[in-house]
Amino acid sequence: MADMGMDAYRFSIAWARILPNGVGQVNQAGIDHYNKLINALLAKGIQPYVTLYHWDLPQALEDKYNGWLDRQIVDDFAEYAETCFAAFGDRVKHWITVNEPHTVAIQGYDAGLQAPGRCSVLLHLYCKSGNSGTEPYIVAHNFILAHAAVSHAYRTKYKAAQNGELGMAFDVMWYEPMSSAAIDVEATKRAQEFQLGWFADPFFFGDYPATMRKRVGERLPRFTAEEAALVKGALDFVGINHYTTYYTRHNDTDIIVRLLNDTLADTGTISLPFKNGRAIGDRANSIWLYIVPRGMRSLMNHVKNRYNSPPIYITENGMDDSSSPFIALKDALKDTKRIKYHNDYLTNLAASIKEDGCDVRGYFAWSLLDNWEWAAGYTSRFGLYFVDYNDKLKRYPKSSVQWFKSLLSSS
């Protein structure tokens, strides 16, 4: 990283490495591990940007009270966060409490595709337990309250001495109307409110979007006056994980409601990467990732306009290649498509800063190394460095490493 000219590195701490049972006894070996990493980064002039929760809930808390479904998680997460502030906060000045809370709520509790695999779609044919119409909203609510509790603790106990900042990393697709019809334009706005607005609006306005209140009704939890006061203003910056853009239209059928009865049905929209048989952009390896650089600039302006120009970090942006065993190493290292992806997205990001006045303060490529990509496992390679999983995890720089090095040295 230092050779490339990078001045920041984002990584996550595993909750169970610090508190194996979620609360209580601290694991000193875990503290020592992260101290070594933090100190090594700082010795190379690289600032650590630390994510406290990237989906690895201690199993003990899932077994005890179903994890993020229970309000107790708010206090337990705050205890974990304070343990990290006390251990690392003298050197870590940039904290991200939760990575992609929207993905956790949807994939874990609506679609059931990721841990803990809860849902009720298709009459429980896919998941053994869960409620896709209520649980995503409960989990989201607890994420928001947990961040607010951690922010309050940091500001009252640690900020004066440590002078750090806390934000959250939101996963945000950009949406464009499928047509110029007013109903599709409104649907596009609604889709964004059920995505970024769902999680960001409470921190800026003290409540969920009015559209959500209307469409979800009593299934959408409410903030007490005290909670709303604690939540509003609890973000020091907005983290954005952005990869792709889709077309959106109004859903004028009740098929989704009948089959799913979930958050997508509540949204009343359908988002697709195709219009009139043509893709919105070239596709990366992942079936969901279409390359649409203009979406970055549009999204930055949306955040600026809706939330009054908050500080923004692009906490993830990147594309993947296939991990086919039939591709020779020398060919796998020639990632010209990735270079173009980052060049074009960064060009749009730069325009949003220089021409539009967006307050963007940092950019993190996803990812430094090829890694385990959740449901995709090792079939997807997002890294700037190729990792040979069959030969002691040896790392090889792809062409994008030299491209980034040249870019950073010329900036």
Identify whether 186 is a catalytic site residue.
Answer: no
> What is the pLDDT, as a whole number, of residue 258?
73
Buried b (16+ CB within 10 A) or exposed e, 278-309: eebbeebbbeebbbbbbbbbbbbebbbebbee
Which residues, 6 or more positions from 218, have their beta carbon under 8 angstroms from its beta carbon? none
Q: What is the pLDDT of residues 222-251, one digit of tens each?
A: 999 999 999 999 999 999 999 999 999 999
> What is the pLDDT, as a whole number, of residue 13?
99
Copy the structure tokens of residue 325. Answer: 């065993």
Copy the structure tokens of residue 107. Answer: 């994939």
Q: What is the pLDDT of residues 355-390, one digit of tens each?
A: 999 999 999 999 999 999 988 999 999 999 999 999
398, 382 Cβ separation under 8 angstroms: no
**Of residues 411, 370, 315, 398, the one with CA closest to residue 5:** 411
Identify whether 100 is a catalytic site residue.
Answer: yes
> What is the pLDDT, as a whole number, of residue 126?
83
145, 227 Cβ separation under 8 angstroms: yes
Confidence of residue 261 (pLDDT cuts 50, 70, 90): confident
Average pLDDT taken over every residue of the chain: 97
Across the range 194-206, mean pLDDT stands at 99
386, 398 Cβ separation under 8 angstroms: yes
Cα(115)–Cα(121) distance, integer angstroms: 16
> What is the pLDDT, as a whole number, of residue 85?
99
pLDDT surpassing 90 at residue 124: no
Cα(77)–Cα(73) distance, integer angstroms: 6
> What is the pLDDT, as a whole number, of residue 236?
99
pLDDT surpassing 90 at residue 201: yes
> What is the pLDDT, as a whole number, of residue 375?
84
> What is the pLDDT, as a whole number, of residue 390?
93
pLDDT surpassing 90 at residue 113: yes
> What is the pLDDT, as a whole number, of residue 345?
99
Q: Give pTM, 2 decimals.
A: 0.97
DSSP per residue over 354-392, as a string? HTT---EEEE--S-SB----GGGTTSEE--SEEEETTTT
- In sequence order, the β-bridge partners of residue 95 are 50, 166
pLDDT surpassing 80 at residue 257: no
Question: Phi/psi zone of residue 321: left (φ > 0), alpha (ψ -120 to 50 degrees), beta?
Answer: beta
Which residues, 6 or more positions from 146, have their beta carbon under 8 angstroms from its beta carbon? 73, 74, 77, 78, 97, 98
Find the catalytic residue in 135, 176, 227, 316.
316
Please report where in the chains the tokens 């890294």 appear, as a residue: 383
**Of residues 106, 136, 130, 115, the one with CA closest to residue 59:** 115
Across the range 46-74, mean pLDDT stands at 99
Confidence of residue 131 (pLDDT cuts 50, 70, 90): very high
Cα(270)–Cα(238) distance, integer angstroms: 26
8-state DSSP, 264:
H
**Of residues 62, 46, 139, the one with CA closest to residue 98:** 139
CA distances from 136 to 184, 185, 217, 263 (A): 25, 26, 14, 8
Confidence of residue 254 (pLDDT cuts 50, 70, 90): confident
Copy the structure tokens of residue 195. Answer: 């995505």
Confidence of residue 123 (pLDDT cuts 50, 70, 90): confident
Cα(77)–Cα(74) distance, integer angstroms: 5
Q: What angle do CA 113, 117, 123 make, to 5 degrees?
A: 90
104, 176 Cβ separation under 8 angstroms: no
Q: What is the pLDDT of residues 171-187, one digit of tens each?
A: 999 999 999 999 999 99
CA distances from 291 to 136, 172, 260 (A): 28, 14, 29
Q: What is the pLDDT of residues 296-353, one digit of tens each?
A: 999 999 999 999 999 999 999 999 999 988 899 999 999 999 999 999 999 999 999 9
Phi, psi for residue 378 in degrees, rounded to 5:
-100, 15
Across the range 73-102, mean pLDDT stands at 99
**Of residues 243, 331, 349, 339, the one with CA closest to residue 287:** 243
CB atoms within 10 A of CB 129: 13
Cα(302)–Cα(192) distance, integer angstroms: 10
Find the catalytic residue in 79, 100, 218, 227.
100
Copy the structure tokens of residue 289. Answer: 């990732």
